[in-house]
Amino acid sequence: ETGVTQSPTHLIKTRGQQVTLRCSSQSGHNTVSWYQQALGQGPQFIFQYYREEENGRGNFPPRFSGLQFPNYSSELNVNALELDDSALYLCASSPMEGSYNEQFFGPGTRLTVL
């Protein structure tokens, strides 16, 4: 069984640029959530996707957007990058919406904005 994978591992961008991060869900999981983790902080929920639709969003501006594909993989897009967007971005998948099943996290993408 393949776990959650994310790409790239590390990324460096400059302020104002746009970035796309990718996530492949664990096999059989149809729900994907994205989190942002600033240095020294706990992860913060960005949004969740279920059946290719956004299904819940945290306190993040619209320049954070996402997609989920029919194979349940997902992308996180961030436009107009700001210095404070520098963080570890985590993707998590789970088997179904509304369940109490645990979420399985990927290793994350470290984004640095200069």
Residue with Cβ nearer another protein (16 or 28): 28
Touching another protein, residues 40-79 (CB under 8 A): 41-45, 48, 50, 55-56, 58
Instruction: Check residue 107 for interaction with another protein (CB under 8 A).
Output: yes
Calculate the alpha carbon distances from 90 to 80, 96 in Å: 20, 19
Neighbours of 39 (CB within 10 A): 7
CB of 16: closest distance to another protein in angstroms?
Answer: 28
Amino acid, single-letter form, for residue 11:
L
* Backbone φ/ψ region at 56: left (φ over 0), alpha (ψ -120 to 50), beta: left
CB of 13: closest distance to another protein in angstroms?
Answer: 20
Neighbours of 63 (CB within 10 A): 13
Task: List residues near another protein by CB under 8 A.
Answer: 4, 31-33, 35, 41-45, 48, 50, 55-56, 58, 90, 92, 94, 97-100, 102-108
